[in-house]
Amino acid sequence: MNCKSEDLLLYAVTDRSWLNGESLCSQVEKALKGGATFLQLREKELAEEQFLREAIEIKELCKRYHVPFVINDNVNIACKIDADGVHVGQSDMDAGNVREKLGTNKIIGVSAQTVEQALLAERCGADYLGVGAVFPTGTKLDAVEVSYETLKAICDAVHIPVVAIGGIANDNIIQLKGSGVSGVAVVSAIFASKDIEAETKELCIKVREMLK
């Protein structure tokens, strides 16, 4: 396994919807200053060349803060810039193929909504799972909701860390207590905030309370 459970405490997923004239790199640095422990660069619309430049810049930033950095979906970009790893969804390349491309030392995360998907991802070499949406979310329009019971069943079934994702905010993190997750992945809870650094610090506190 190429990542530790504690790395996944507060997993930040980027979204340029709330830049408001600011650079994504600047927002990411605020999240890292606030205590984000893992970062995923997610870009669905960006041209390859611009994505590549941005990925290199944010990779260096994460390196400075000693935070693992993965690319969402784009295995080729992850290989080109030597990112720490990649996160893939169910409709993307399977974990076994990703492992062949990236090699043994890179982090592979896989999205899962069922115990069967989780077990298959683990067998194929996933290092961690992203499970959700655990709450209603407006960030991912095609998100499938995953119940607390299913989240817990997935955590009980696998031996790799699980992060909950989807609609997670300061006021509902505690509802995940006892599920077995190693941490939470958030998008708008960090990047839509008016004070990214302060909000990230508060989220870290809430996650630690939930994990006690």
Task: For residue 42, indicate whether it is catalytic.
Answer: yes
User: Please, what is the end-to-end C-alpha distance for the chain in angstroms?
Assistant: 24
Task: For residue 99, indicate whether it is catalytic.
Answer: no
- Please state, in angstroms and rounded to a whole number, the distance separating the CA atoms of residues 169 and 156: 24
The answer to whether 155 and 174 have CB atoms below 8 angstroms apart is: no
User: Among residues 30, 99, 106, 111, which one is catalytic?
Assistant: 111
Give the residue among 168, 201, 202, 198 at the shortest CA–CA distance from 183.
168
User: Among residues 30, 42, 99, 106, which one is catalytic?
Assistant: 42
Task: For residue 123, indicate whether it is catalytic.
Answer: no
Give the residue among 122, 141, 143, 142 at the shortest CA–CA distance from 132.
143
User: Among residues 30, 140, 182, 206, which one is catalytic?
Assistant: 140
Pair of tokens at residue 191:
């990047």
Catalytic positions, please? 42, 111, 140
